[in-house]
Amino acid sequence: MFDLTGKIAIVTGSGKGIGKGIARCLIKAGAKVCLNCVSNRAIAEETLKEMHALGGEDCAILVQADVSDYAQAENMVKTTVEKWGKLDILVNNAALQKNMDFDEFPEEFYDLLINTNLGGYTNMMRACLPYLKETKGSITMISSVHGKRPTDFDPVYAITKGGMHMLMREAAIEFANYGVRVNMILPAGVKIEFKSGNPASFKGPEKDLGIDHKLLFTKYHTYPLGRTGLPDDSGYLCVYLASQEAEHITGAAIRADGGSMLK
Amino acid sequence: MRFSGKTVYITEAGSAVGEALARRFADEGAGLVLGDACPCLVKELEEKGVKVLNVHGSPVHYEEAEARLQEILKAFDRVDALVFNNNKAIKTSIEDLDRAVFDEQMNYNLKSAFVLTRTIGGHMATFGNGKLVFVSSIHDDKPTGSTPFYSVAKGGITMLNKEAALFYGRKGLQSNVIEMGALEGDDETFKSEFAGQYVYMNYRIPRKEPGKPEEIAGIAAFLASEDANFVNGASIRADGGFMLHYRFR
């Protein structure tokens, strides 16, 4: 069940974090994966070595590319197809957040987030579509519970995730004509080695509100299942969504959030 | 007269919904800032004694929004409500997307909402009250199969609304969305080769008549009024039941 042997995948933003977990799960299921990073090449090279140790020398390649630039996105897709002859799976994962409120959000960061989180996902879908049509492949988008629930710390991140919900649905109905499925995974907080964004700007309360944070994070846990998310939570769901067994699943948005949205 | 002495800024006032919004707020006593209104509408309202400032273009950059606020403050003391009504849908497919269409849809329908929310919302916050009303679309939830980046922008508006409801809600404002749908002509605007939502549009609405711009304006007037002080971060679907349809009867 859920066997991806012989399948070729691209996972954007997979040098680290959730994307790395997804790549690992796809490789464990038998797929070959094109890893992608935009800037942290050294970290991504380490990830590539880990993947080779896991699935052999031919199971993964690494392409450094900024998906917000269509030419770079297209080049990554071509590199993958030249290497393995086809493409079955796109996992759109490379996204940014900045953690700033409305009044402090620079316009250049607004544009950056739109161009990466929405423009980048669009670029990759368009660049992959000709090949996915041939294999009746699938696209899985990593979004966030913040496509439904506001962040209260990064309005533009949430805006891009709300837009992503509709990008997924529009792509799902358009690409259904070609037998290409499009789905979405919504993680909440995920424990990863290297946080992107701007952790320093995560602010505590501006004044003492008399709130017992320990109580909130223990008894009334943010995650009813009792732990923060892990990259593999999304990874295994990606394996399922890309598998033959998911052939009737398209336009779906599945939460992998430990129940956090129930709270 | 719920809006006597108040100023309401309505964007895209040249559309059918924009004109209905302008007339409704004028009827309830508001002074108006209108985005790209027809001079004939401005004349009609001024003849009724309504104070109107017709402004041109929808700001998409921070400095443009700030300049717009300063332009408004030369004519009015303050803004009491922003009714963001930008709703231009461009037909494309994702497969054959021209990047310029992406930019145009995202700037006009979404970024303009963000920059005006920051600027006009921030301005209203200094008074400790005000309203943000986004006239959006049922396509913040339902795909069109014809205007994908209109939908993407509307999905973004939904989250902009929720974030603004928190951030500006703490500063005394309320922010809400109208998910408008199935108005006269929408079956052409959103006509798709593969999505069936608008085939026999009128039969999919239980009353078998599309929505009227005036019916959208009534909801916007409610949301912009003090009657809606406890409505915040909501999306009100105004589609006559169009989205519930799945069988013809």
The domain in which residue B119 lies consists of: 7-244
Asked if the model's pLDDT at residue A196 lies above 70, the reply is no
Selecting from B94, B157, B168 the residue whose C-beta is nearest the C-beta of A122 gives B94
pTM of the model: 0.95
- Provide mean pLDDT across the span A90-94: 96
- Candidates B159, B160, B175: best to mutate against A (most CBs of A within 10 A) is B159
* Token output for A206: 């501006």
**From the CA of B197, how many Å to the nearest CA of chain A?**
12
Number of C-beta neighbours around residue B203 at 10 A: 11
Number of C-beta neighbours around residue A39 at 10 A: 11
Asked if the model's pLDDT at residue A193 lies above 90, the reply is no
* Structural domain count of chain B: 1
- Provide mean pLDDT across the span B77-100: 97
Q: Do A110 and B114 touch (CB under 8 A)?
A: yes
**From the CA of B41, how many Å to the nearest CA of chain A?**
34
Nearest residue in A to B99, CA atom: A119
Asked if the model's pLDDT at residue A197 lies above 50, the reply is no
Selecting from B95, B97, B166 the residue whose C-beta is nearest the C-beta of A150 gives B166
Predicted confidence band of residue A214 (pLDDT cuts 50, 70, 90): confident
Q: Look over chain A and give the mean of its residue pLDDT values, rounded to a whole number.
A: 92
- Provide mean pLDDT across the span A213-230: 79
Q: How many CB pairs under 8 A join A and B?
A: 124
Q: In the prediction, which pLDDT does A200 show? A: 45
Residue B189 and residue B195: Cα distance in Å, rounded?
13
Q: In the prediction, which pLDDT does A215 show? A: 77
- Provide mean pLDDT across the span B27-37: 98
- Provide mean pLDDT across the span A114-124: 97
Predicted confidence band of residue B116 (pLDDT cuts 50, 70, 90): very high
The H or E element spanning position A26 is helix A17-28
Predicted confidence band of residue B158 (pLDDT cuts 50, 70, 90): very high
Those of residues 175-194 in A touching chain B at CB distance below 8 A are 175-177
Determine contact, residues B173/B230, Cβ cutoff 8 Å: no
In DSSP notation, B40-63 reads HHHHHHHHTT--EEEE-S---SHH
- What percentage of chain A reaches a pLDDT higher than 70? 94
Q: Is A121 a catalytic residue?
A: no
The answer to whether residue B60 sits within a structural domain is: yes
Q: Do A174 and B102 touch (CB under 8 A)?
A: no
Instruction: Give the CATH number of the domain where residue B133 resides.
Output: 3.40.50.720
- What percentage of chain B reaches a pLDDT higher than 70? 100
Q: Domain ranges in chain A? A: 8-262
ipTM for this model:
0.95
CA dihedral angle for residue B166, residue B170, residue B172, residue B175, rounded to 10 degrees: 0
Number of C-beta neighbours around residue B3 at 10 A: 22
Contacts of B45 (CB under 8 A, 6+ apart): B22, B23, B26, B32, B52
Q: In the prediction, which pLDDT does A205 show? A: 55
The answer to whether residue B175 sits within a structural domain is: yes
* Token output for A123: 């670029």
Q: In the prediction, which pLDDT does A206 show? A: 58
Q: Do B195 and A173 touch (CB under 8 A)?
A: yes
Q: pLDDT digits over A67-91, tens only?
A: 999 999 999 999 999 999 999 999 9
Determine contact, residues A28/A54, Cβ cutoff 8 Å: yes
Q: How far apart are the first and last CA of chain A?
A: 33
Residues belonging to chain B with any Cβ–Cβ distance to chain A shorter than 8 Å: 61-62, 93-95, 97, 99, 102, 106, 110-111, 114-115, 117-118, 121-122, 139-145, 148, 151-160, 162-168, 194-195, 233
Spot the catalytic one: A157, A178, A220, A240: A157
Q: pLDDT digits over B195-228, tens only?
A: 989 999 999 999 999 999 999 999 999 999 999 9
**Domain at A8-262: CATH code:** 3.40.50.720
**From the CA of B108, how many Å to the nearest CA of chain A?**
13
Q: Do B155 and A165 touch (CB under 8 A)?
A: yes
Residue A234 and residue A11: Cα distance in Å, rounded?
12
- Provide mean pLDDT across the span A198-212: 60
Q: In the prediction, which pLDDT does A207 show? A: 65
Asked if the model's pLDDT at residue A199 lies above 50, the reply is no
**From the CA of A61, how many Å to the nearest CA of chain B?**
26
Identity of residue A122: T
Selecting from A147, A165, A174 the residue whose C-beta is nearest the C-beta of B148 gives A174
Q: In the prediction, which pLDDT does A198 show? A: 46
Nearest residue in A to B151, CA atom: A166
Identity of residue B168: Y
Asked if the model's pLDDT at residue B14 lies above 80, the reply is yes
Selecting from B114, B155, B166 the residue whose C-beta is nearest the C-beta of A152 gives B166
Asked if the model's pLDDT at residue B132 lies above 60, the reply is yes
Q: In the prediction, which pLDDT does A190 show? A: 81
- Provide mean pLDDT across the span A152-172: 97
In DSSP notation, B71-136 reads HHHHH-S---EEEE---------STT--HHHHHHHHIIIIIHHHHHIIIIIHHHHTTT-EEEEEEE
**Most distant CA pair in chain A, distance:** 61
The answer to whether residue B1 sits within a structural domain is: no
Q: Do B159 and A110 touch (CB under 8 A)?
A: no
- Provide mean pLDDT across the span A220-229: 82
Selecting from A166, A172, A175 the residue whose C-beta is nearest the C-beta of B152 gives A166
Predicted confidence band of residue A201 (pLDDT cuts 50, 70, 90): very low
- Provide mean pLDDT across the span B46-69: 98
Q: In the prediction, which pLDDT does A222 show? A: 79
Q: In the prediction, which pLDDT does B68 show? A: 98
Determine contact, residues B161/B177, Cβ cutoff 8 Å: yes
The answer to whether residue B2 sits within a structural domain is: no
Predicted confidence band of residue A216 (pLDDT cuts 50, 70, 90): confident
Phi, psi (rounded to 5 degrees) for A15: -70, -25
Residues of B in contact with A102 (CB under 8 A): 117-118, 121-122, 163-164, 167-168
